[in-house]
Amino acid sequence: MKTILIFDSGVGGLSVYQEIYRQLPHYQYIYAFDDAAFPYGELDEAVLVERTLHIVSSLVIKHKADLVVIACNTASTIVLPPLRAALSLPVVGVVPAIKPAALLSKTKSLGVLATPATVKRQYTQALIQEFASDCEVHLLGNTRLVEMAEMKLRGAKVDLDELTGILQPWFHTAIDTVVLGCTHFPLIKDEISKVFVQATNVIDSGSAIASRVNSLLGDMATGRSPQWQNLTYHSGENSNVVILNHSLLAMNLGRVISLNYPHS
């Protein structure tokens, strides 16, 4: 039995977990989210690195993890080098799915929906220059969508009128392919597709991440030992995750366990 640790600042990484679990259902999964410091896009980089290194390293040791997935676009742009230097196991990050989007688009007009931090980072521009230089790329950074995704997983409905207002800048463009550049956003993919109907493709990097994990570990497990359980950890207040427990159990993850790690 191998163990995969998936880390994010919030519940967005659950969209990545679901894709990996679909391909590799027989492994043990540890999902950890640093909600005490959520959202990561507003953290100082040094604080982000410190928190991620501490939480991930502690859980790797505790559960003897075989592979780590940093299921956060913001963290992936900052923490991967020091984390890989600190750990002697594979660490997989996420990047916006700009390359496949450029190949899919018929109008050669892409919309990249991400957090403001991801939109501003040089690595996003580098991806556009390398893989979508023949496309018109419209960047839209928004933090409210992250909050909407978090609230949806806790049972709240997404306000479609508010979502329409957020996506309004794109309505008079030729965009036919939308890249969900934050792991939270696949959680509200249906609502985004309903509001922005001109997009024939709405894609994220979850499937590509799952394929990468599969290639690194391989699906060699054939059954789950009954003493092995999937676990969920968080750093925030327990009162914030009571409703979330129901969704986690439905995803074959255990009830949330406190990390007792303070806010930044």
User: How far is the C-alpha of 94 from the C-alpha of 111, rounded, in Å?
Assistant: 18
Q: Annotated binding residue at 184?
A: yes
Q: Annotated binding residue at 73?
A: yes
182 is catalytic: yes
Instruction: Report CA dihedral (236, 53, 11, 264) to the nearest 10 degrees.
Output: 40
Q: Residues with Cβ < 8 Å from 216, sequence gap 6 or more?
A: 67, 90, 92
Q: Annotated binding residue at 8?
A: yes
Q: Annotated binding residue at 31?
A: no
User: How far is the C-alpha of 239 from the C-alpha of 80, rounded, in Å?
Assistant: 31
From 182, 195, 209, 213, active-site residue: 182
Would the CA dihedral through 160, 166, 171, 175 be positive or negative? negative
User: How far is the C-alpha of 129 from the C-alpha of 112, rounded, in Å?
Assistant: 14
72 is catalytic: yes
Strands (E), 50-154: 67-70, 91-92, 109-114, 136-141
Q: Annotated binding residue at 77?
A: no
Q: Annotated binding residue at 40?
A: yes
- Give the other-Cβ count within 10 Å of 3's Cβ: 20
Residues 40 and 72 sit within 8 Å (Cβ to Cβ): yes
Q: Annotated binding residue at 29?
A: no
From 14, 68, 72, 94, active-site residue: 72
DSSP assignment of 71-91 equals --HHHHHHHHHHHHHH-SS-E
For the annotated binding site, the residues are: 8-9, 40-41, 73-74, 183-184
What residues are labeled active site? Answer: 72, 182
For the annotated binding site for substrate, the residues are: 8-9, 40-41, 73-74, 183-184
